[in-house]
A and B are shown apart, each in its own frame.
Chain A
Amino acid sequence: MQEGLLEGIKRGDTVLEARGITKRFPGVVANDHINFEIKAGEIHALLGENGAGKTTLMSILFGLWQPDEGEIYIGGKRVKFRSPEDAIELGIGMVHQNRKLVSAHTVIENIILGHPKAGKILNLKRAEDEVKELAERYGFAVDLRAKVWQLAEGEKQAAEILKTLYRGAKVLILDEPTSALTPSETDRLLASVKAMANDELAVVPFITHKLPVVLAISDRVTVLRRGQVVASLETKLATEKSLAREMVGRDVLFNIERTKVEKGKPILQVENLSAASDKGFLALSGASFSVCEGEIFGIAGISGNGQRELAEVLAGLRKAEGGRVMIEGKDITHASTLERWQMGVGYIPSDRVEVGSIGDFSLVENIMMNLYYDASFSRQGILDDAKIRKHTAEIIAEYDVATPSLDTTAKSLSGGNLQRLILARVLSRKPRLLIAHLPTQGLDVGATEFVQNKLMEAKKDKAAVLLISEDLDEVLSLSDWVAPIYEGKLMGILSGEAAKRENVGAMMAGLSLEGQEL
């Protein structure tokens, strides 16, 4: 057994140490001589913008990649991981942002799936007792007999953490653990993380932009920027502003000024709109609202309450089950997606990787997604390459997309850069209506600020902006109107001034404005 390396580890002892880790990819040094130390009983947050090298470093510590230079020590002994199995065996566990559970199976089945003892000396009943004890010890509330598809996001995450712990992890790496959670789920997770740290497990959550979370729970924070460690300090010595400055390399504004724009004519009018989910049940019912030019209309709510359906119906990607959609007075309820783009609708989808871009295509070809139908970029169906390249180069520079060349594939861009590319593509069309669905999800501070500024600019350019977001602070700081959504219904429409964290938060949870449960 390998646990030998970590036996008798006491609070404060170094569990894992990385020295001089260097990893190069073509044209970029993802990790540049990084030193990183994890101690037992410590919550060590790794902070950095997208593309700063967090994922690379963690992938190396988890054995997914081999470093070009540098050494890893566990319990003081040098090790080399050839694959994640080696890392798991030495007590390193990783909980990915994308869930890796079998949805048709129960939680306990998922937990023992792939366990070395499963099917040999491990029986389900005993495993269940053991896992239940783990869950109780750390305060994870999850029904082990429930099927995974029935679970909420926070419960799925708990299941993954339990699975990792049950495999004997002493070091737990959590990849952006709070990004998909509701505020109350986040609180619960943080309490569990604290309990684990008290039990002398080392926990490394790596969090991109949720600075308040870092400040609330971590003991130590290491900040990466462009592949290098720029700061490593005790959290109690840090502030939100100082960490943001280290991360981005300059001062960051936390609250974007909401500029007043003179109200114009209505652009989008939605009347009594309903839509079905992929599974066929009514996911959006009876939504009515309108958005005028120079306005940001914010839809606040936890994902899965009909936002995706709303965005897709407006984009023409899903058919309306009832109601009407009008753009500048024209009924577009049955118009095709292409017709809508040509009428001046722009859409930033929540899924940047699968929907918003084509990974194998070059940046030029990705920009072409909104140009191929435009007569000014082609002649009789023959694309004007030179003009398209020139246009791409211009908007990529304007939107500050960091890339070695225009022929780089979109899949090689970091999340923030990819979103800049999508924004560049959609906003350069000067849309009359902009639908932005989770536009800053998973982005770091710098990219978030950039996207929010661009939404504000679109508003100043007299576009009507529909912002659909889970981030309550974002909706409140940007929107002229706020409509909380819950189970497919808009719970009311509040003016930007009247909308406050408390009342919007309550309405997102299904309470009506008067505070009565609906």
Chain B
Amino acid sequence: MRSGGYTLKLEKRLRISGWEAALIPILAILFALALFSSVFILAGINPLMAYQQIFAYAFANPNGLPLTIYRFIFLLLCTCAFIIPFRAGLWNIGMTGQLYAGALGAFAIPLAFGAKESSVSHLAPEILIPLMLIAAAVGGGAMGAIAGFLKGKLDVNEIVVTMMLNSIGFWLVSFMIKEGGPLMSPGGEGQGFKLPPSLYAPQIVNVPFTILFALGIAALLYWMFAKSSIGYQIRAHGSSPAAARYAGISTVKIPLLVFIMGGAVAGLAGYHYFATVPGLYRISSDYGYFGDLAFYGIICGLISLGDALAAIPVALLFGGLSVGGRYIQGKLHMGFGVDYALLGVLMITLVAFQFFYRYKIVWVKTEEEKFDVRVHRQVP
């Protein structure tokens, strides 16, 4: 691009300062919102008003804010589940299947203790809730371990395996909660049984206690990758498997380990959504919707470049926009899918803006160009 003696050129960045690294995603978000304005304008809606409503509902409305927080916790756990294998150079596309397995594990505990038969609660929550959490982590971890084992031992592509396990997980849940399934609600209706009230998750000022797990895991991962020997081994495997092997790091154990860890965290996301969100407390019939939402963990993980702390604001933003987007879709009578369209535009823009971590745009004087070979070509 030329203008007034200057040419726009891309230049490779050799280093990036902290404030530039922070500015890039903010610019990307603003750019995405500006881009998505066209959708509102086409629908005859003032985009500023629309965004004001989205953000107000998601972050300042007594009905919207809790929904945002539930989703934020869910997304942050899914993001961490993606990040752990990602730092080892492996792709976990299977948070969906892992969270299903986690949910099944969690609900198997009250089932085993007879919660389904007796609505009168004789169950001690201080024992059963920790057991449910452990079972969720074990369920998700076991699902993850399949992919990790196949990758480490037999070098089977982990993307394919985790994707296929998502399908298996989906139908497994269906088998368990629908007609005749062991976790079926007594009334049928294609959904799981409801937890007895004694097992409703404790809330901290109306926020499920799982938020502590989500934030704690994010902080723990950040610390693990920065300071611990195992975090170092995972990162070495991610940067160069051949060099990691040379350094004595097992290329069998690391894939298995990261997928067990990632799966366990995704399992907790399953527990979180189905067992702590007020009004739900069961594996609902629309569980597939939350399975799909788990894919945003991949996006949040990529945008935060595998940094678990950076994933916190990203997950909050995506959680809020998915809630706010859904809200104005109804409020302003817009077409179906505005929320996902908004997330999609945001996602593509954020990923595209990562280009600027590596390159910058500079203006250079065009004067030099007169020595271009192409100019010579016209000289006989």
A, B: real partners: yes
Please name the residue on chain B nearest to A66 by beta carbon: B368
Provide the bound-state CA to CA distance between A341 and B250, in Å: 13
Instruction: Choose one: A2, A356, A357, A369; the contact of B373 (CB below 8 Å).
Output: A2
Given A373-B229, A383-B227, A337:B246 Cβ within 8 A: yes
Most buried by A among B233, B248, B372: B248
Given A354-B240, A354-B242, A354-B243, A80:B373 Cβ within 8 A: yes
Residues of B within 8 A of A385 (CB): 227
Provide the bound-state CA to CA distance between A5 and B373, in Å: 11
Q: Does B333 contact A (CB under 8 A)?
A: no
Provide the bound-state CA to CA distance between A161 and B13, in Å: 34
Provide the bound-state CA to CA distance between A5 and B239, in Å: 47
Given A79-B376, A337-B246, A358:B232 Cβ within 8 A: no
Instruction: Choose one: A2, A356, A360; the contact of B246 (CB below 8 Å).
Output: A356
Provide the bound-state CA to CA distance between A354 and B240, in Å: 7
Residues of A within 8 A of B249 (CB): 338
Assess whether A358 is in contact with B243, with CB atoms less than 8 Å apart: yes
**Which secondary structure dominates where chain A touches chain B?**
mixed
Provide the bound-state CA to CA distance between A355 and B380, in Å: 52
Provide the bound-state CA to CA distance between A483 and B324, in Å: 74
Residues of A within 8 A of B331 (CB): none
Assess whether B242 is in contact with A25, with CB atoms less than 8 Å apart: no
Residues of B within 8 A of A349 (CB): 246
B96 CB to nearest chain A CB (Å): 30
Q: Does A347 contact B (CB under 8 A)?
A: yes
Residues of B within 8 A of A25 (CB): 14
Residues B134-173 near A (CB distance < 8 A):
none
Please name the residue on chain B nearest to A5 by beta carbon: B376
Residues of A within 8 A of B14 (CB): 25-26
Residues of A within 8 A of B245 (CB): 317, 337
Residues of A within 8 A of B229 (CB): 372-373, 378, 381-383
Provide the bound-state CA to CA distance between A80 and B373, in Å: 6
Please name the residue on chain A nearest to B223 by beta carbon: A382
A301 CB to nearest chain B CB (Å): 22
Q: Does A43 contact B (CB under 8 A)?
A: no
Residues of A within 8 A of B368 (CB): 80
Q: How large is the interface on A (under 10, 10 to 19, 20 to 34, 35 or more residues)?
A: 35 or more
Stretch of A81-89, A123-131, A192-200 with 4 or more beta carbons under 8 angstroms from chain B: A81-89
Residues of A within 8 A of B298 (CB): none
Provide the bound-state CA to CA distance between A369 and B236, in Å: 8
Assess whether B232 is in contact with A337, with CB atoms less than 8 Å apart: no
B257 CB to nearest chain A CB (Å): 13
Provide the bound-state CA to CA distance between A351 and B235, in Å: 20
Residues of B within 8 A of A78 (CB): 371
Assess whether A347 is in contact with B240, with CB atoms less than 8 Å apart: no
Instruction: Choose one: B230, B236, B239, B371; the contact of A381 (CB below 8 Å).
Output: B230
Residues of B within 8 A of A71 (CB): 371
**Contact pattern, A 61-92, Cβ under 8 Å of B = 1, otherwise 0:** 00000000001000001111110001001100
Q: Does A365 contact B (CB under 8 A)?
A: yes
Interchain residue pairs with CB less than 8 A apart (26): A2-B377, A4-B380, A5-B376, A71-B371, A77-B376, A79-B371, A80-B368, A80-B369, A80-B372, A336-B250, A337-B245, A340-B248, A349-B246, A355-B246, A356-B243, A356-B246, A357-B243, A358-B236, A358-B243, A361-B239, A369-B243, A372-B232, A378-B229, A381-B228, A381-B230, A382-B228
Using a CB–CB cutoff of 8 Å, the interface residues on chain B facing chain A are 14-15, 227-230, 232-233, 235-236, 239-240, 242-250, 368-369, 371-373, 376-377, 380
Using a CB–CB cutoff of 8 Å, the interface residues on chain A facing chain B are 2, 4-5, 25-26, 71, 77-82, 86, 89-90, 315, 317, 336-338, 340-341, 347, 349, 351, 354-361, 365, 368-370, 372-373, 378, 381-383, 385
The 10 closest A-B pairs by CB, nearest first: A338-B248, A369-B247, A80-B371, A337-B248, A381-B229, A372-B229, A358-B243, A358-B239, A358-B240, A86-B373
